[in-house]
Amino acid sequence: MPSLPLPPDHESDTPGPGTSLRRIPEATVVRLPVYQRILEELGRSGTTTVSSERLGASAHVNAAQVRKDLSLLGSFGTRGSGYDVTYLADQIDHHLGLDREWTVVIAGIGNLGRALARSQGFAARNFAVAAMIDTDPAIIGERIDGVEVRHPDDLAAITESTPLSIGVITTPASVAQRVTDLMVGAGIRSLLNFAPCRLEVPSGTLLRYVDLSMELQVMSFYQARHLHDGNVAAMPVIGSVGRTFDGVG
């Protein structure tokens, strides 16, 4: 399907000025961050080149799959040696949109909100926590990593000086819809919802649900199978961001 001589879609597949974004299948999108993290580790350990075989082993993915995924971003492997770690990481960054800074606002400064705000993973990947909001007067005014917690009513004012691209909702479910409406009203078009409830957003808004207890549910499914028939080997890698493995690869 991705390899017709002429693409059926409107999107041009001329290589363009190195900036062309061709259609990337969802299955690939969710593997890219995995590759990227491995490349990061390899880079830190001084490795300059990596083969699809090795990358695949680390990612628990077939080597052919790795090559197919990467060939979608362009073809910049070197036959006989492999991929340049740094260059490949840059390319993935570009396709994931991580070569520009994203500003994040976190709503609900409880334990989860603080955990995310302080997460080094965010800063390391160009996500800047640019604002934090909460309604608790005891929390408002507090500074976390240099960012002051403010009242939700200030959101519109905040966005005037600091455009915000992504809203992260870590409030109780009871107020999640209200804070969502505020964020949407302030022009935020991407939301990551950790509150255990469904949200309504206008069309054109991206909404991503993350439910930590669901991870446990999927895990318990596999363990239940495991206990019943001892058949661990039949448990495959599943899912996107959360992934289940049976032992080492």
183-212 residues near its own copies, rule: CB under 8 A: 189-190, 192, 196, 198, 200-212
Strands 127-133 and 102-107: parallel
Q: Taking phi first (over 0 means left), then psi (-120 to 50 degrees means alpha), and beta for anything else, what does residue 127 get?
A: beta
Dist. CA 118–CA 146, nearest whole Å: 11
43 in contact with its own copies (CB under 8 A): no
75 in contact with DNA (CB under 7 A): yes
Dist. CA 2–CA 4, nearest whole Å: 6
Residue 89 in tokens:
């990481």
**Helix axes 63-72 and 52-59, enclosed angle (nearest 10):** 110
Helix (H, G, I), strand (E, B) or coil at 193: strand
Of 7-15, 75-83, 167-175, 201-209: span binding DNA (CB under 7 A): 75-83
Of 76-84, 135-143, 148-156, 161-169: span binding its own copies (CB under 8 A): 161-169
63 in contact with DNA (CB under 7 A): yes
Of 46-54, 78-86, 90-98, 155-163: span binding its own copies (CB under 8 A): 90-98
Give the side-chain half-sphere CA count within 13 A for 12. 6
Residue 154: name the closest of 140, 142, 143, 166 by CA.
Answer: 140
Element containing residue 56 per DSSP (H, E): helix 52-59
| Residue that is written with structure tokens 């999927």 in the block | 218
236 in contact with its own copies (CB under 8 A): yes
Q: Closest approach of Cβ 80 to DNA, in Å?
A: 3
Choose from its own copies, DNA, none: what does 67 bind? Cβ within 5-8 Å by kind.
DNA
151 in contact with DNA (CB under 7 A): no
Among 38, 77, 116, 152, binds DNA (CB under 7 A): 77
Choose from DNA, its own copies, none: what does 78 bind? Cβ within 5-8 Å by kind.
DNA
With beta carbons less than 8 A apart as the criterion, state whether 74 and 15 touch.
yes
Choose from DNA, its own copies, none: what does 3 bind? Cβ within 5-8 Å by kind.
DNA
Residues that bind DNA (CB under 7 A): 1, 3, 25-28, 50-53, 61-65, 67-68, 70-71, 75-83
